[in-house]
Amino acid sequence: MTLQNTLNGVRVLDLSHGLFGRYYSMILANFGAEVAAIDDPEIQEDGQCFNDLNRNEKRISLNLKTPEGLDIFFTLAEKADVVLEELSPDVVQQLGVDYQAVCQCNPRIIYCSISGYRQTDPFHNRFDHDVHYMSNRGGMDLICEKEGGPTIPNLQIADIARDNIVLQILLALFSREKTGKGQYISISRPLKTGG
């Protein structure tokens, strides 16, 4: 067996839509995990970046706001090993796809919530962009022009700076092999508000 198929047999449901989540599910897929990217029916392919992030993944179009969409999601969740999502806590609860709901149908699930701010942060339900996360912690000052203001980077630095997301998922899977129990992982971007 090579490293490329180390995760054969691991099933991942990816509810994320942005770079932050899709980047990490892409890594899992690159090492053999079977990743099903759950997309809203309105999501359209938008070029090479989209194709790169979704390589080695299956795409499923589901409307989680409908009973039919939820039924299909929970049928998939029953057999999944990992759920990866980057929605706000209020949204996953409103949709009914939060950790508690998924855990009821699959107690062995590894449920990974990735968000812009910690779940306990006052801004936990706020949706921002990479440049906002960097600005909140002074990261933009580090990439400014010699003469002038900050420069907006071409790369989403805060979104891909958390390379330990995959490590945490793998450690949770390893722990489950020993304990038989799944777990909830909550991860925020590294550049958060102060306070």
What are the structure tokens assigned to 194, written together?
């102060």
Helix segments in the chain, DSSP class H: 19-30, 48-53, 67-78, 89-95, 99-105, 130-136, 157-160, 164-179
Q: How confident is the model at residue 97 (pLDDT cuts 50, 70, 90)?
A: very high
Which one, of 48, 54, 61, lies nearest residue 27 by Cα? 54
Query: CA 41 to CA 39: how far, in whole Å?
Result: 6
Q: How confident is the model at residue 165 (pLDDT cuts 50, 70, 90)?
A: confident
Q: How confident is the model at residue 195 (pLDDT cuts 50, 70, 90)?
A: very low
pTM of the model: 0.76
Q: In this structure, are residues 77 and 149 in contact, taking their beta carbons and an 8 Å threshold?
A: no
Q: 18-43 pLDDT, tens per residue?
A: 767 788 888 899 999 999 999 866 65
Query: CA 47 to CA 97: how far, in whole Å?
Result: 29
- Residues of the chain with pLDDT > 90, as a percent, come to 39
Write down the pLDDT at residue 46.
56
- CA distances from residue 74 to 13, 23, 69, 78 in whole angstroms, order as listed: 10, 24, 9, 6
- Span 162-170, mean pLDDT? 81
- CA distances from residue 40 to 31, 44, 84, 119, 159 in whole angstroms, order as listed: 26, 9, 15, 24, 21
Q: Is the pLDDT of residue 5 over 70?
A: yes
Inter-helix orientation angle 19-30/164-179, to 10° = 60
Write down the pLDDT at residue 174.
96
